Amino acid sequence: LEYATTHSYCNLTLVGADFDASAFGIVYQKDWIYAKELDVNLLSLREQGVLDDLRAKWFEGGDCSQTDDSGTAMTVESLGGLFLTFGVINILSLLLFVWLKRSVIKDYFKSRKRRRSLVISPNTLKEEHSQVTVAE
């Protein structure tokens, strides 16, 4: 990231401390015969400061001519498209959820309607009771 912001993307700025710039990895085959020599040579280059010089050459010096440390504030207008996209995606996801669960919703309303029709009202109960007593 540091190389990209100092060489290619001059309008970007790194904020905060580096994540972990203490070591770099070199991949080689397991049980490689030159592994020990590579480790010794890299350690000697680090002790001599050659690795620090290379880091300064490649990462600190950049092609960007001007560095502007003043930042621009983010406003609601600049984020309007993001909020609009978020709202549209939420509405579409809600519609998709309702569409996929439509059979469950239909079954719920049918069972609710069925329960309401099965509930015996007090007037119906009195009429049935009076018919039973007359028949006796």
The pTM of the full predicted model, rounded to 2 decimals, is 0.36
CA nearest neighbour of 58 among 116, 126, 4, 113: 4
Q: The dihedral of CA 74, 78, 81, 83: what is its sign?
A: positive
Q: Average pLDDT, whole number, for the chain?
A: 77
Would you state the pLDDT for residue 92? 98
CA nearest neighbour of 14 among 63, 54, 69: 69
pLDDT in tens, 15-59: 766 666 666 678 889 989 999 999 999 899 989 989 888 877 776
Cα-to-chain-centroid distance, residue 7: 28
Angle, CA 27 vertex, CA 21 and CA 29 arms, to 5°: 155
Percentage of the chain modeled with pLDDT above 90: 22
Would you state the pLDDT for residue 120? 56
Would you state the pLDDT for residue 66? 61
Is the pLDDT score of 132 beyond 60? no
Domains of the chain, residue spans: 2-60, 80-135
* Distance between CA atoms of residues 129 and 125, nearest Å: 6
Contact status, residue 7 vs residue 64, Cβ threshold 8 Å: yes
